[in-house]
Structure 1
Amino acid sequence: MLTRRTALLAGGAALAGSAAHGQAAFPTRPIRLIIPFAAGGGTDVPGRILADAMTTSLGQPVVVENRTGAGGTIGMELTVRAAPDGYTLVLTSNGAMSSSKLIYPNLAFDPQTDLLPISNWFKVDNVIAVKADSRFRRVADVLEAARKEPGKITFGSGGHGSTLHLMGEMFQYRAGVQMVHVPYRGGAAALTDLIAGNLDTAFDSTPSIGPQIKAGAVRALAVCGATRSPFFPDVPTMTEEGIRDFQEFSWGGVFAPRATPAPVVERLAAAIIAAGRNPAVIARMAQAYAEAIPNTPAEFARVVRDEAARWEPVVRAANIVAN
């Protein structure tokens, strides 16, 4: 005989099984991966490689959507406002995550609390570069000119508040010089003006500028990281060029809206980690002058917190505030 208690237990078991099945089935439709920077840039290129890998492993299309503007905050806010179901993600940079709240004091959200870290994805080197026939042959030449003509030597970046902008500010902060920042809507636009001779220097990431270095259209003066780039071993580091305590690189990681369920986050993180261990994906990343560095949500959360603490004094010293 089916008692009321037995019926309730059976119903509860069915619901639990249904919920478990729903979690295991994720995703059941396409996922939108927002990249808040221009196509072809240092975040976009590794991001498209990740989207392809996740499409294969998750069995659903992961569709890249470039939503540029305001140092990455437009694309990040779209993610913050999206349903917390794992179907809208953002792949953003350390610069945007670390500095947005300082640079945009009226920002309607807080990246540190409103975006949930899923996994880091990539690491790329940044370089200070000049046009191939520039009068600047070494970093020392740029510093000499900047000291003789404070506020006249220009550096381009992929946008106000971008990681590349912060690299330029860190350069000035560590070297004690004053230059003029010229922001663009993406690193590709800045690179075009650098090649045309409209900029004295530019900070760019290797996925964006690497092909132009190889082609001889631009010359890299120094790498911003702690060690020389494996892709450009002849280019010295900032430390080798006399800039102390300048050992910076760019990373990009995947975030979801804050209330995204833990099982969904774990499924997404597992897919990203698997992509970063796939030899074919690693080879594609190397071709794009990038390195896969996936980690767990907890590990990535620590990275995000530490990064924000490192960049805050630079942003405040440079008084970087959006107009």
Structure 2
Amino acid sequence: MDDGTNAAGRFLLTVSTNFLTVPTISESLAGRATILTLWPFSQAELWGSSVGTHSATGAMPPVSAHPTQQSKLTSSAVGASRSTNTVERWFDQDSSLRRAARSSTSRSDYLHKVCIGGFPEVQQLSAHRRNRWFLGYAETVVSRDIAQLGDIRRAAMLPQMLRLAAAQTSSELNVSRWADQLGADRATVQSYLGWLRTAFLVHELSSWRRNRTSRVVQRPKLHVTDSGLAAGLLGLSADALAALNHPMTGPLFETFAVNEIVRLCSAAEMPVSLHHYRDNAQREVDLVLERSDGAVVAVEIKATSSPRPDDLRNLVYFRDRLDAVEPGAFRAGVLLHSGANTLPHDDRVLSASLDTLWQSPR
């Protein structure tokens, strides 16, 4: 790399962890490497949709690329026509989103997608073989990769911690409570959580705030990086999640949706950061997307196939609060659900079938 030839792209280095956070690696390659974060596949990638591109040509660069690099890929590889990336269309207030065609994806279909997730190796496996693959993957990453990279004195606690993360996916992270449940001190839990992030097993949404809005709770919200992995660690099938009032249906559905949006944001032309919102009156918004120019989209996620107007109340509240202090910043509020209809409900607020995230615009 340093021989003076300046031959860009001569080397492709692939790693299974975020090597920039590994303390034992001394060379950062700063200024000499482009870093792409490769998530498990999105539904658009799995089903060949053009969603995620910046052109209507159907050409599709990798949805999982880092946002800065993805914008370079898309601007050079395809034409400059209207975006098909659903997240970008929310920010652009694309009116066609409010009249999307009736969805043919059933709630049962969604739950199967939740339990399969995005790892390419499991897509064609039976449910039994898929769960065995997830357990083997988790054991390999946790017991070998992390244990070898870090100063892990209680390695047996790592699998327990990952299962706890799966059981509490879509929840605010309370490290003190985790420490009590795991029988460990808070500093150890905090350190080991860092290793789960390094190995791309979990990711967190920081709490969203602007100084001119109401006070918010500061805890981040935790998500397992792949909903299929979370379901596999908990031994849950789509049939189990379909049971009335199963406690994990909502959290896993939310994690699946959040992970799909994460992949779309990583392909956006302008960088988008992801957060969650909860104020001191316990009003919550599952996902707050903030573009680098300050524009904001709020997203609520419900596993129900029959959303009610009351499900939109926090989106309306969030819109009104932001309009009052920063007119023009709020672009859209979206309720994603497992039903068939996409309907406008109020000024810049709509409910939409979850598959609008990966179905090509009509």
Give the alignment's TM-score, normalised by structure 2: 0.26
Structure with the larger RCO, 1 or 2 (CA within 8 Å, 6+ apart): 1
Give the alignment's TM-score, normalised by structure 1: 0.29
Q: Is the strand fraction higher in 1 or 2?
A: 1
